[in-house]
């Protein structure tokens, strides 16, 4: 079995791995880069109006034979570990006959992003993975493992062929609401792993504000208890763990959790996968309507859903009447200043900033200062801290451990056993 990491040996984002036997070629993830060569943020606008060949020349699309639309198909399948753009964001370029395997949760979230965000996805040949069942692609056997990550229903994969076993960790952590999944792998790891590809996003940037998801929930609860004005929650609506933490904090303090139509729709679509995800019609949840989201839902999905969500609609007068009782999910976009303008005396309102601090712009901080809004960062990483990486690696105890999805591959040899550093595009034959 041969392994080629097309991208990811030296960077976070844009992961793409190839596994190959004499008969079968499988890719794992085909992500959009997060950074350019100079480590400045990658701007997806660069993709506009460029051909596949142009994008290969720019090293944005990995140079993989038989993968793209303009080529003769020679890749048997693509496995997508989870619904973050840096793991699936280049799928639009692939040959339409290549089956793309992912979890049900990933499929729902990727589809919703395609409806509501600029990240449009063409029709792809999706196959849904049952996370309890192994399956085969040619002579490669794939066993999925659900992992704890900030993306819902994220998977790691064990791939076996030619008597060799490779484990791809994907993105994971041990301190989310599904930390049990992490403990399960550590307690009962896949045996005889020849090669482990393990992420290391937090290495080199490990100042955790909050230890775990429960600490985040507790802090949100304290803030809500002490609030004498409206509180805003800045969070990705797709970070289901965090939405659950915020909802539980609202229940404990009897506050009203105001979500938007986009969030209500995400939660609604995931309700068939988990009964524990809060829904728009649950206690203490209300829905704020924004015209652009309502238009998209009516046009692209169904008007009926709007009528359903309308039953729990909340409008500004009601919000103003009980503003110290409200936690309002929002984001920094053109709507936010309009919301602030419609709040009676927003001075002193709290912004619970519950996303990676790298997204917190100077522009937004400045805006908050000018408007008397107080930012408090309440966040916990989507990725494993180094102690958890260590217990994960030593539980799996691979013959070879290869860094991926990290800016700090060079730190691995000091932290873990049997490390081998690869370069992007280097062909590695499993020994």
Applying CB under 5 A, the residues found at the interface with Zn ion are 84, 151, 171
Indicate the helix (H) or strand (E) that contains 167.
strand 164-168
How far, rounded to the nearest angstrom, does the alpha carbon of residue 70 sit from its chain's CA centroid?
A: 29
Of the pair 147, 151, the CB lying nearest Zn ion is at: 151
Q: How far apart are CA 87 and CA 91, in angstroms?
A: 9
Shortest Cβ 201–Zn ion spacing (Å): 8
Of the pair 171, 268, the CB lying nearest Zn ion is at: 171
Q: How far apart are CA 40 and CA 43, in angstroms?
A: 9
Of the pair 82, 219, the CB lying nearest Zn ion is at: 82
Shortest Cβ 151–Zn ion spacing (Å): 5
Name the strands in the sheet holding 374-377, side by side, starting at the edge strand that comes first in the sequence.
285-288, 256-260, 326-330, 231-234, 350-353, 374-377
Of the pair 147, 250, the CB lying nearest Zn ion is at: 147
Reading the block at residue 422, the tokens are 């690869």
Angle at the Cα of 24 (from 22 to 28), degrees rounded to 5?
A: 130
Beta strand 100-103 pairing with 126-129: parallel
Shortest Cβ 126–Zn ion spacing (Å): 19
Shortest Cβ 83–Zn ion spacing (Å): 8
CB atoms within 10 A of CB 300: 10
Of the pair 152, 412, the CB lying nearest Zn ion is at: 152
Shortest Cβ 202–Zn ion spacing (Å): 12
Q: Which residues of 265-295 are buried (b: 16+ CB within 10 A; e: fewer)?
A: bbbbbbeebeeebbebeeebbbbbbbeebbe
Shortest Cβ 139–Zn ion spacing (Å): 29
Of the pair 25, 82, the CB lying nearest Zn ion is at: 82
Of the pair 148, 221, the CB lying nearest Zn ion is at: 148
Q: 230: burial class by Cβ within 10 Å (0-12, 13-18, 19+)?
A: buried
Of the pair 29, 160, the CB lying nearest Zn ion is at: 29
Shortest Cβ 303–Zn ion spacing (Å): 34
Reading the block at residue 398, the tokens are 């691979």
Of the pair 84, 350, the CB lying nearest Zn ion is at: 84
Q: How far apart are CA 96 and CA 68, in angstroms?
A: 8
Shortest Cβ 199–Zn ion spacing (Å): 9
SS (H, E, C) 373-415: CEEEECCCCCCCCHHHHHHHHHHHCCCEEEEECCCCHHHHHHH
Shortest Cβ 178–Zn ion spacing (Å): 14
């Amino acid at each position: 079995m041969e392994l080629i990491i097309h991208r990811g040996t030296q960077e976070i984002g844009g992961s793409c791995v190839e596994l190959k036997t004499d008969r079968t070629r499988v890719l794992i993830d085909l992500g959009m880069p997060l950074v350019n060569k100079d480590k400045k943020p990658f701007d997806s606008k660069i993709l506009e109006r460029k051909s596949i060949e142009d994008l290969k020349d720019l090293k944005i699309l990995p140079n993989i034979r038989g993968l793209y639309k303009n080529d003769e198909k020679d890749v048997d399948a693509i496995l997508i570990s989870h619904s973050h753009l840096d793991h699936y964001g280049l799928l639009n370029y692939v040959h339409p006959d290549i089956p793309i395997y992912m979890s049900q949760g990933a499929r729902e979230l990727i589809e919703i992003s395609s409806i509501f965000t600029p990240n449009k996805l063409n029709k792809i040949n999706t196959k849904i993975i049952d996370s309890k069942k192994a399956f085969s692609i040619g002579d490669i056997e794939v066993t999925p493992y659900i992992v704890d990550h900030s993306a819902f229903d994220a998977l790691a994969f064990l791939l076996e062929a030619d008597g060799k076993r490779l484990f791809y960790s994907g993105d994971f952590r041990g301190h989310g609401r599904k930390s049990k999944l992490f403990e399960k792998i550590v307690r009962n790891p896949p045996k005889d792993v020849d090669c482990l590809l393990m992420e290391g996003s937090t290495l080199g940037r490990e100042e955790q504000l909050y230890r775990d998801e429960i600490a985040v929930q507790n802090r949100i609860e304290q803030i809500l208890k002490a609030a004498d004005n409206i509180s805003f929650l800045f969070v990705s609506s797709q970070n289901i763990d965090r939405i659950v933490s915020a909802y539980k904090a609202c229940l404990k303090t009897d506050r009203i959790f105001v979500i938007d139509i986009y969030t209500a729709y995400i939660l609604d679509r995931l309700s068939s996968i988990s009964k524990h995800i809060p829904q728009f019609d649950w206690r203490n949840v209300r829905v704020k309507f924004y015209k652009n989201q309502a238009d998209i839902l009516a046009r692209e999905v169904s008007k009926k859903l709007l009528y359903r969500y309308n039953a729990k609609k909340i409008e500004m007068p009601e919000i103003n009447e009980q503003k110290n009782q409200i936690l309002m999910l929002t984001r920094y976009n053109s709507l936010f200043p309009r919301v602030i303008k419609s709040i009676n005396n927003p001075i002193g309102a709290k912004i619970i900033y519950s996303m990676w601090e790298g997204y917190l712009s100077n522009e937004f901080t400045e805006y908050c200062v000018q408007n008397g809004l107080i930012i408090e960062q309440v966040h916990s990483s989507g990725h494993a801290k180094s102690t958890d990486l260590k217990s994960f690696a030593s539980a799996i105890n691979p013959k070879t451990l290869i860094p991926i999805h990290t800016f700090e591959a060079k730190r691995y040899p000091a932290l873990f056993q049997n490390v081998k550093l690869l370069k992007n595009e280097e062909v590695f034959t499993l020994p």
